[in-house]
Amino acid sequence: MPSPIRAGAVGLFLAASIVLGSLSSVHAAEDPPDVTETTGARGVAVAGRSDELAAHAEALVSRMNTAERAASVVMGHLPTTDPAVLEQYMRETGIGGFILMGANISASEGELRAVTSALQVDPELPPLIGIDQEGGDVSRLSWDDNASARTLKNAPVDDAGTAFAARASLVARAGATVNFGVVADVTDDPSMFIYARALGATPQSAADHVRAAVRGEAGLVLSTAKHFPGHGAAPGDSHQGIPTTDMTRAEWETRDGAPFRAAIEAGVPLVMLGHLAYTDVDTAPASLSSAWHDILRDDLGFTGVAITDDLGMLQASGIAAYDDPVANAVSALAAGNDMVLSVMFTTADTAPAMVAGITAAVEEGTLSSGRLEEAATRVMALRLSTAAQGDTLMPCTECTAIP
């Protein structure tokens, strides 16, 4: 098993970043909610990569071996609420992230906090702890009674910011640092799978509400826009197949691309790639498509962490080419993802198998060492941004430092 970089070295880099960068800051354009009052713990926001934080991430990754880098780009899952079991899992795997699902969440916030605390085996380099807290139809926290997309899509834009700020505060108090909660898909068709979860029925409405949601979460949790390039144009449920559309690239630019562009302009630190095929661009699902990653990076200007939707969904599609979860992880990284997420069909052995497979792929030349290093560095920078207890780190090109 990979042995994670130890805390002492990380602490030196993190302390330097705080001193050198004065990274505690606020948005000049729109102040986020007061983090001290709303989170009850630490706040997190990353609207862009600061040079200092990126340099520290690069230095740490340069000291990691291939297996450690491979582990750092895996977000795993284990269905239990037992803190001791979860702590052992994180120590043994050395993975860079964990996603909370219903099986990890008890009836109270305090019990969940015990779970998330157990996941942080190295407080100076905590994993990214993710959760799907959209509200409404997809809600892991039963105590979140804030408005969801069902009502927000028809409500004033400011309501989306208010609801997601309140939601993010609940997520942060529970100890999670990443919310996979901003559904940037757009559709006006109630029969579409994603309709009830989408924040807008038109490109402009979706873009405005998504922008407000991302800004609302800033300073509280790391926000994620999903499901790029857009589930609204692709009929079907991506948990059961590969929804496909023949929408042209030009149509996508003006329709489904608009909310993602708005999220990126608002500083969203993560984008989740969906298992969706836009055949005019690529017959492969976007999660495995280098063409879509090029569009995300080069055309939309995204510099944050690209993460897959649950790779188990590819297995669930029944398509033979996607039967091997390890091969799917390698393909996803090669296409341009920085982190691979696995939930469905996952056991305690899944993450170690992925780490071994990614390591072997680099050694065999199937996955370039440079691509893995790039992915690990982006993930490392995001993890470092969450590591300061009691400080809000906001590496942001549009922020003003607090005197």
Model confidence pLDDT, tens digit, residues 102-160: 999 987 899 999 999 999 999 889 999 999 998 988 889 988 999 999 999 999 999 99
- Residue that wins the pLDDT comparison between 48 and 265: 265
Mean pLDDT of 39-58: 58
pLDDT value of position 45? 36
Domains and CATH numbers, the chain: 7-401 (3.20.20.300)
Q: Is 239 a catalytic residue?
A: yes
* 28, 399 Cβ separation under 8 angstroms: yes
- Is the model's pLDDT at 391 over the cut of 50? no
Mind listing the pLDDT tens digit for each residue in 213-255?
999 999 999 999 999 999 988 877 777 788 999 999 999 999 9
Where would I find the beta strands (DSSP E) of 206-276?
A: 222-228, 244-245, 270-273
Q: Worst-scoring range by mean pLDDT, 49-53, 107-111, 288-292, 322-326?
A: 49-53
Mean pLDDT of 11-26: 35
Tell me, what DSSP letter sits at residue 31? P
Q: What percent of the chain has pLDDT over 70?
A: 84
The active-site residue, picked from 239, 282, 324, 391, is: 239
pLDDT band, very low/low/confident/very high, at 2 (cuts 50, 70, 90): low
Mean pLDDT over all residues of the chain? 86
Mind listing the pLDDT tens digit for each residue in 59-79?
999 999 999 999 999 999 999
Mind listing the pLDDT tens digit for each residue in 340-379?
999 999 999 999 999 999 999 999 999 999 999 999 999 9
Closest CA to 314 of 381, 240, 219: 240
Mind listing the pLDDT tens digit for each residue in 180-222?
999 999 999 998 889 999 999 999 999 999 999 999 999 999 9
pLDDT value of position 264? 98
Q: Is 275 a catalytic residue?
A: no
The active-site residue, picked from 185, 309, 310, 338, is: 309
pLDDT value of position 234? 84
- Is the model's pLDDT at 9 over the cut of 70? no
- DSSP track, 341-383: E--TT--TTHHHHHHHHHHHHHHHTSS-HHHHHHHHHHHHHHH
Residue 268 and residue 263: Cα distance in Å, rounded?
6
Which secondary structure element, helix H or strand E, spans residue 91, and what is its range?
A: helix 83-93
- Is the model's pLDDT at 397 over the cut of 70? no
pLDDT band, very low/low/confident/very high, at 54 (cuts 50, 70, 90): confident
